[in-house]
Amino acid sequence: MADTRPTLLLADHDDASLNPVTARALTAALALGAPVHVLVAGENARAAAEAAAKLDGVTEVLLADGPAFAHRLAEPVAALGVALAPAYGALIAPSTAFGKSVMPRIAALIDVMQVSDVIAVVAPDTFDRPIYAGNAIQRVRATDATKVLTIRTASFTAAGEGNAAPIRALEDAVPASGASFLGEEIAASARPDLAAARIIVSGGRALGSAENFHAIVEPLADALGAAVGASRAAVDAGYAPNDWQVGQTGKVVAPDLYVALGISGAIQHLAGMKDSKVIVAINKDEDAPIFQVADYGLVGDLFEIVPQLQAEIAKAKA
Amino acid sequence: MKILVPVKRVVDYNVKIRVKADGSGVELANIKMSMNPFDEIAVEEALRLREAGKASEVIAVSIGPVKTDETIRTALAMGADRGIWVKTEEAGIEPLTVAKLLKALVAAEGPSLVILGKQAIDDDCNQTGQMLAALLGWPQATFASKVVVGEGTVDVTREIDGGLQTLRLALPAVLTTDLRLNEPRYASLPNIMKAKKKPIEEKSAAELGVDLAPRLEILSTSEPSGRTAGIKLASAAELVGHLKTAGVL
The answer to whether residues B237 and A310 touch, using CB atoms and an 8 Å cutoff, is no
pLDDT band, residue A273 (cuts 50/70/90): very high
What domains are there in chain B, each with its CATH number? 2-246 (3.40.50.620)
Cα–Cα distance between A250 and A242 in angstroms, integer?
8
For chain B, 249 residues long, the average pLDDT of each consecutive 10-residue run is 98 93 94 97 98 98 97 98 97 97 98 98 97 98 98 97 95 96 96 97 98 98 89 95 92
What residues are paired with A199 via a beta bridge? Answer: A257
Helices (H), ranges, chain A? 21-30, 46-53, 74-84, 97-109, 210-212, 218-224, 232-236, 267-273, 302-317
Q: In this structure, are strands B57-64 and B2-6 parallel, antiparallel, or unpaired?
A: parallel
Best interface-test mutation with B: which of A10, A116, A131, A286 has the largest number of B CBs within 10 A? Answer: A131
Report the 10 Å Cβ neighbour count for A17.
12
Cα–Cα distance between A60 and A311 in angstroms, integer?
48
pLDDT at A183: 96
pTM of the model: 0.95
Whether B160 and chain A come into contact, CB under 8 Å, resolves to yes
**What residue in A sits closest to B19 (Cα-Cα)?**
A136
Decide which of 3.40.50.970, 3.40.50.2300, 3.10.310.30, 3.40.50.620 is the CATH code for A7-169: 3.40.50.620
* % of chain A exceeding 90 in pLDDT: 89
B 27-86 residues with CB below 8 A of A? none
Contact B163 A187 (CB under 8 A): yes
Count of CA atoms in the C-beta half-sphere (13 A) of B76:
23
> In sequence order, what are the residues at sequence separation of 6 or more whose Cβ sits closer than 8 angstroms to the Cβ of residue A150?
A92, A93, A94, A95, A99, A100, A103, A114, A115, A116, A117, A118
The answer to whether residues B156 and A184 touch, using CB atoms and an 8 Å cutoff, is no
Question: Cα dihedral sign for A22, B121, A124, B129?
Answer: negative
Chain B residues with CB under 8 Å of A105 CB are: 130-131, 133-134, 140
Cα–Cα distance between B131 and B215 in angstroms, integer?
15
Backbone angles phi, psi at A9, to 5 degrees: -100, 125
Q: How buried is A212 (Cβ within 10 angstroms: 0-12 exposed, 13-18 middle, 19+ buried)?
A: middle
pLDDT band, residue A318 (cuts 50/70/90): confident
> In sequence order, what are the residues at sequence separation of 6 or more whose Cβ sits closer than 8 angstroms to the Cβ of residue A272?
A245, A246, A247, A248, A250, A251, A252, A253
Q: ipTM for the complex?
A: 0.96
Cα–Cα distance between A212 and A304 in angstroms, integer?
12
pLDDT at A2: 66
Shortest distance between the Cα of A220 and any Cα of chain B, in A, equals 13
Question: Tell me: the pLDDT tens digits for A168-210?
Answer: 999 988 998 999 999 999 888 889 989 889 999 999 999 999 9
The answer to whether residues A289 and A275 touch, using CB atoms and an 8 Å cutoff, is no
Whether B165 and chain A come into contact, CB under 8 Å, resolves to yes
Overall size of chain A counted in residues:
318
Is residue A170 helix, strand or coil? coil
The answer to whether residues A230 and A203 touch, using CB atoms and an 8 Å cutoff, is yes
- What b/e string do you get for A245-281 counting C-beta neighbours within 10 Å, with b at 16 or more? bbbbbbbbbbbebbbbbbbbbbbbbbbbbbbbebbbb
Cα–Cα distance between A106 and B130 in angstroms, integer?
9
Of B131, B180, B233, the CB nearest to A296: B233
pLDDT at B147: 98
Strands (E), B81-196: 82-87, 113-117, 140-149, 153-160, 163-170, 173-177
pLDDT at A249: 80
> In sequence order, what are the residues at sequence separation of 6 or more whose Cβ sits closer than 8 angstroms to the Cβ of residue B31?
B11, B12, B15, B17
Class of domain A194-317: alpha beta
Shortest distance between the Cα of B41 and any Cα of chain A, in A, equals 14
Between the CA atoms of B46, B49, B51 and B53, what dihedral angle is there, to the nearest 10 degrees? Answer: -140
- Do the domains A7-169 and A194-317 sit in the same CATH topology, yes or no? yes
Cα–Cα distance between B2 and A39 in angstroms, integer?
38
Question: Tell me: the pLDDT tens digits for A41-84?
Answer: 999 999 999 999 999 999 999 999 999 999 999 999 999 999 99
Shortest distance between the Cα of A264 and any Cα of chain B, in A, equals 14
Is residue B24 helix, strand or coil? coil
Of B55, B36, B84, which Cα lies nearest the Cα of B147? B55
pLDDT at A188: 80
Chain B residues with CB under 8 Å of A153 CB are: none
Domain range list for chain A: 7-169, 194-317
Report the 10 Å Cβ neighbour count for B163.
16
Cα–Cα distance between B65 and B93 in angstroms, integer?
10
